[in-house]
Structure 1
Amino acid sequence: MSSMVRKSLLFLALSGASALALTSPVHAEDNTMKVTYQPSAAGRAVSQWEYLVASDKLGFSDYADFLLKNPGFPKEGLLRTRAENTLENEAPSSRELVQYFDRNPPQTNSGRARYALALAAVQRPEAFEIARKAWRDGSMSSSAEAYLMGLYGARFTADDHIARMDALLWHGDKEAAARQIVNVPAANRALFMARLALVQKTAPESAGVMVPAEAMSDPGYVFNKVQYHRSTGNLPAAVTTLATRPKFATPAHDAEDFVAEMLAVAKGAGSSQAVAIASSVDDLFAPGTDISDGSYRLRDKYTDLMWLGGTKALWTLGDGAKAAPLFYRYGMAAKTPLTRSKGLFWAGRAASNAGDRNEATRYWELAAKYADQYYGQLAIASLGRPMPQFSDQVSAVPSSELRSSFNSDPLVAALRAISSSRRSWKTERAFFEAISENADTPEEMALVADLAAELKLEEFAVVAGATAPEHGLFGFERLAHPTVNVPYGTDWTMAHAIMRQESEFDQNRVSHAGARGMMQLMPGTAREQAGKMGMNYMSADLTDDPQYNIRLGDGYFRRLLDYYGGAYPLAIGAYNAGPGRVNQWLRLNGDPRTGAIDYVTWIEKIPANFETRYYIMRVLGNAVAYDNMHPHRAPGGRPRTISDFLR
């Protein structure tokens, strides 16, 4: 699971010493032993994890000791970054740093530089290669810079100095760049001088710096130039620079930052220019780069840019041919089933609008793989095909060895301790998600599902089933759609569709806004609805009695559905945001009940700062999935399609 099977919890057992005491790299394994987690030990580890996650002002040893003892715990990257950030004000011994970084490779370049210096201090042969990478990757403290230059300056090559100068200018580190310029070969100096002027908020021409003719094919120069224009209030110049630039000669040093800059500029551009900017993103990356494997920030900015370009092309310019590849990029950059199927569906719709039915079919067939998702269902409808049957959960029988490895995983022990002590559901969820993320095979996912059932964490069956497609695992749709008993007369399908989205069937869930229970009712709404139904209002029963909560939630939803004349998208939106907001959007974007706009487009045009857009999509997708998984529960025994809910 890779990681689930690959390691048991290790801690350093050096008599009378901290976990950071030095071990020789050759004999490190001699000084480690497996920890068998008893519930009390696991509970203590979880308590310490909660404390460290909530605290960003602790010392290096606080984070480092925990990370050495508890590899693979949730938010490990956050804790590692915090550990490295403490090194700006702390000076652990070289032996302590080597001990830590040997097991936790640096997350930051400053950390990498400190690791290199520590390796040099203990005379480890790999010190130079780590130092060389730190040098090439740019920013570090001025003292680390001086030490590395003193130790290895004679061994750094011209290419190393060029790479460092490039990185420093990407990071906007003008002081270090000004020091580094003397190390750059004369043949490369003109371009770097022009970039340095831009970073210093000066037009190169005004500073008497010549800009080489080939500068616009350099991604670093264009990045610095666009940032300069934006910082000096000249957005039109930034737009023109990005919309008309030639193809880059090499990939960008920091494609993530460049995509973020492109998005910021495209938001202020005209429609044609925004499409041009979004369409020129490919040469920022090396051929074959899979954006979906990138950081969350890269995926987020990239998909926002592709969506902006695609919608401008399709909705404003009416150019489906230009929109389709942008929507396709959006989908393929996404990790989650909803977002991936969204891009693929809209790529198909754009291609269809452009008259390319073959290309539309190709995109829709890709989206249709996600039949339990709103957009997958729209793709199936667009193809004119019936909903597929959802088979029972895939047959996956874990071996005894795999089951033993799973049960000895510290994350599993920690989750059991969390469950038995009724800790915060957020902590519980963090550990369950970490376990689910490690499941890369059907057998491993089956073990995750078994764990949720064992601990009576029905709500996390939703998490496990939803995670499976992100790992290329299909056939877990039923796992992701659990069922519960509901009061007689309840709209079974809609109650399940709403509960899956609102609370994941957690009867004790209380939102930050105060919504409570399985149907996530606000106390005021619940009190009003109880009165309308002739029921006593019992605030405690909103979480203590799921049947009470479901009856009130079902009654409230039916009231909204009546108010909107049976229009499910509008009633679902009002359940989330209130009728006032929905009525406002009807006035703003048109009323799909009159034919002024279709429901699919109306939902997309709900302002992005409201969660309601995705809420409607998810609840509708849930409703279709539940109807088709349990046809005997559907009205008249006829499972509905997404088209039935969009009338």
Structure 2
Amino acid sequence: MRTLLNLPFDKIIKRLPVNLSTTKRGDKGGNRAFEHGTFSFSIRGQYSLKALNLAPRIEFRKNIALNIIAAAAIFTIFCHNTAKAQDDSPFNRLQTKQAKELTISALKDMEKKNWKAAESKITQSKDPLATKIYLWRYFSQAEEKKSLSPGVFLRLSSFLRQNPNWPGTTKLRQAAEDAMPEDLPSREVLAWFDSFPPKTSEGMARYLEAMVVEGRDKEMREKLADWWAQSLISRDLQQRIFQKFGMYLTLDAHKKRFDALLLNGNYTNARAIAGVLGQGYPELAEARIALTENKSGVTALINKVPGYLQNDPGLLYERLKWRRQRNMDLEAMEILHKAPDAKMVQNPQAWWKERHIIIRRMLEKRQYKSATYLAEEHMQTEGLPYAEAEWLAGWLELRYLNQPTEAYQRFTAMYEKVATPISKGRAAYWAGRAAEGFHKEDLAKDWYEKAARYRSVYYGQMAIRKLAQTEGLPAPSAPTLSNSDIENFSKNELVQAAILFHDAGQRKTASDFLQAFVQSQDNPKAYRFGAELAAKIGQYHDAVKIAKRATEKGLFLTAQAYPVVTNWLRGDEGVEGAFIHAVIRQESMFDVDARSSAGATGLMQLMPGTAKDVAKKQNIAYNPGWLSSRPDYNIHLGSAYMRSLLKRYNNSYGLATAAYNAGPGNVDKWIKMFGDPRTGEIDLLDWIELIPVYETRDYVQRVMENLYIYRILLKESHHRNEADIQMVDGTNP
């Protein structure tokens, strides 16, 4: 008889019923209540089925509870519960050379959907990790979920419990919910969803129904209210939920759902909920839909809304957006000045987006008081919108209304509330500038020193220059890896899987496993090992991602965070090598296969049309495939384009960088609108912050902070003209 490890898991479940006398069931009350995860086998030595009473195949017909137990037991034997025997788990040991070769070949077969050939090679490998990878790929294939069966649910249940740290578990959980047997007892439904909260609307419906059956009404009401307010479900399911649980739903829950449905464009369901609410809500729905869909007659529809709903936050938001889209800025400001409190709306970030657009328009018109007043009323309380809004209000107070004291209060409050190095550095630097504004030089120095702690970010680097400190890299903080550390990490199944997928040419999947490894370990040594491994196998973008995550936790992995690829440079780029590296890091994080939704390709994210024009001007052949397959070709064309932008803007790195991202036409427009930093008409630091497009503002600062690091790493001389100095320092020479 073949051993368990010789079979793919779908074959195992089909062929291997277990003599249940070898297990202990977790049904303490004798009421078929199966508690997942209560079975543990610690099998050492060979993985053989000879010890079990085996029959030709499992019949999933009589007792689903027992079959779940059987599946869990078999898979626990198969996977060897790592919680109790992690060190000698069959998955945390290195594959043999033959097993590795067979696994790589099988992965290539799987990529081609040749499952039979892959199964044969996995069987031949007799390798537990190879088998597990096969299962993961099999379960992850969307096309395999079209004819789901109870058996699939059992297998997925076991796999997910044994492998919570593997990538793609969300999709696997969705598949498991789709495959959940209709006659699965309610207690077993609860056992599943208590461990794995629903990912699908049908799954949530099953969960709610099971809670009612089992008498968990209070918990059901809480989950129902939260889910009902936000779920985007089909009309039939909405009707089914309402019929079954309508008695538990409050008026407030219906109102929140009504608003969420309209904001997400689910008009059919929104109209149905409006009918339930009555009392003017159908009229409110039609007015909001007309505004969103740009229909005619919106004024008449708005007038039909009852007076008590005229200030409905959702209606005000749609009217605000409608006016802004038609450049009715003053009329939009009327709504912003009477905007509801952020706690009263479901979409505070969307309100900030509209407010921010109008603020930027006021700045374009040089109406600084209006812009500042709008910013001061932002009402954001957390996340990026708060950091962006609070900083903008303080910056406007300082730079345009000469209110350094008020600005200082905002910047210092922001510093205490934000967490990321970028936001911390920004808040501290501008607190220093504000302190200078009311002539507290010692206080300003203290804040510059705080900002300078964040040497890897733009405003930290600005603070270093303010203090006239020696330019240098952040202090290294990477832990030392012992031989034992390296050996243990190398045996980790996620690490081995990443290498296998990489060697099979499946870089994206390799990336998923590398990131899963780091996330599951979440410690300094794992960050270093993961980043170094990624760089070693040439997946530089993963090295950068891991190093960035480490930076957020106070670790600085210089070599991995800032890859050096001078071997990809031909030497005739005509652009500073550090600058090329800085742009690549921001554009693609050194992912040669990177492709944006707009079609930008490769390391320097070249649009095909731009690349073709540059190739023609360079008198070289144009081949779109080379943009990703030949790194040196992509860099050569990207550098040539950047060289033309530098020439256009008199070697101003800041203006050229902005043009690389947003196009020279926009940069020319912004120079005309805000002034020319090359002539000293405006501080370039302010010019960058005035760029109306967030993506471009952020892009320029990120490239410049990369440039600072790469100049140190590459030890290139800084042949900077006055415009360049202004760009890097952020102040007029």
1:42 aligns with 2:133: yes
Contact 2:428–2:447 (Cα < 8 Å) also in 1: yes
1:227 paired residue number: 314
How far apart, in 2, do the equivalents of 1:475 and 1:78 lie? 33
1:569 paired residue number: 654
Contact 1:267–1:274 (Cα < 8 Å) also in 2: no
Equivalent positions of 1:26-425 (< 5 A) are 28-30=38-40, 31=72, 32-33=75-76, 35=79, 36=91, 38-39=129-130, 41-42=132-133, 45-46=136-137, 49=140, 51=142, 69-70=159-160, 71-74=164-167, 76=169, 93-95=184-186, 97-106=189-198, 114-121=206-213, 123=214, 127-134=216-223, 137=226, 139=228, 144=241, 166-172=252-258, 225-230=312-317, 238-242=335-339, 252=343, 257-261=347-351, 264=354, 270-271=370-371, 273-278=373-378, 280-282=379-381, 291=382, 299-307=383-391, 309-314=393-398, 317-324=401-408, 326=410, 337-353=421-437, 355=439, 357=441, 360-361=444-445, 363-391=447-475, 394-397=478-481, 400=484, 404=488, 407-410=491-494, 412-423=495-506, 425=508
Deviation string 1:187-218 (CA, Å, 9 cap, x unpaired) is xxxxxx99999999999xx9798xxxxxxxxx
Aligned counterpart in structure 1 of residue 549 of structure 2, from 450, 467, 483: 467
Contact 1:510–1:516 (Cα < 8 Å) also in 2: yes
Supply the AA of the counterpart residue of 1:629: L
How far apart, in 1, do the equivalents of 2:411 and 2:280 lie? 36
| Secondary structure at the counterpart of residue 560 of structure 2 | coil
Matched-pair identity in %: 26
1:449 aligns with 2:531: yes
Contact 2:455–2:473 (Cα < 8 Å) also in 1: no
1:548–1:429 CA distance, 2 compared to 1 (3 A): same
Report which of the two structures shows the higher radius of gyration computed on alpha carbons. 2
| Secondary structure at the counterpart of residue 102 of structure 1 | helix
1:601 paired residue number: 686
Supply the AA of the counterpart residue of 1:69: F
Supply the AA of the counterpart residue of 1:561: L
Per-residue deviation, 1:112: 5.5
Aligned counterpart in structure 2 of residue 483 of structure 1, from 542, 557, 564: 564
Supply the AA of the counterpart residue of 2:371: S
Deviation string 1:78-120 (CA, Å, 9 cap, x unpaired) is 7768987x79x99674556335313212468996564243145
1:228–1:452 CA distance, 2 compared to 1 (3 A): same
Per-residue deviation, 1:15: 6.6
| Secondary structure at the counterpart of residue 228 of structure 2 | coil
Per-residue deviation, 1:306: 3.4
How far apart, in 2, do the equivalents of 1:534 and 1:200 lie? 59
How far apart, in 1, do the equivalents of 2:15 and 2:399 lie? 69
How far apart, in 2, do the equivalents of 1:513 and 1:385 lie? 42
Per-residue deviation, 1:63: 9.5
Per-residue deviation, 1:408: 3.0
2:35 paired residue number: 25
Contact 2:500–2:510 (Cα < 8 Å) also in 1: no
How far apart, in 1, do the equivalents of 2:623 and 2:517 lie? 37
Per-residue deviation, 1:616: 2.0
How far apart, in 1, do the equivalents of 2:626 and 2:36 lie? 61
Larger RCO (alpha carbons 8 Å, 6+ apart): 1
Which shifted more, 619-628 or 62-71?
62-71
| Secondary structure at the counterpart of residue 379 of structure 1 | helix
TM-score by length of 1: 0.69
2:639 paired residue number: 554
1:342–1:24 CA distance, 2 compared to 1 (3 A): same
Supply the AA of the counterpart residue of 1:130: E
Deviation string 1:252-282 (CA, Å, 9 cap, x unpaired) is 5x8863454465467558435423422x545
TM-score by length of 2: 0.62
Per-residue deviation, 1:483: 1.0
Aligned counterpart in structure 2 of residue 620 of structure 1, from 662, 684, 704: 704
How many residue pairs get matched? 564
Deviation string 1:119-167 (CA, Å, 9 cap, x unpaired) is 453x4x7x345324325537275655665688xx8xxxxxxx9xx5555
Contact 2:587–2:603 (Cα < 8 Å) also in 1: yes
Aligned counterpart in structure 2 of residue 497 of structure 1, from 565, 582, 586: 582
How far apart, in 2, do the equivalents of 1:321 and 1:148 lie? 55
Supply the AA of the counterpart residue of 1:24: F
1:382–1:240 CA distance, 2 compared to 1 (3 A): same
* CA-based RMSD: 5.2
Contact 2:428–2:450 (Cα < 8 Å) also in 1: yes
Contact 1:110–1:139 (Cα < 8 Å) also in 2: no
2:671 paired residue number: 586
1:357–1:559 CA distance, 2 compared to 1 (3 A): same
Contact 1:275–1:313 (Cα < 8 Å) also in 2: no
| Secondary structure at the counterpart of residue 596 of structure 1 | coil
How far apart, in 2, do the equivalents of 1:607 and 1:47 lie? 47
How far apart, in 1, do the equivalents of 2:149 and 2:426 lie? 43
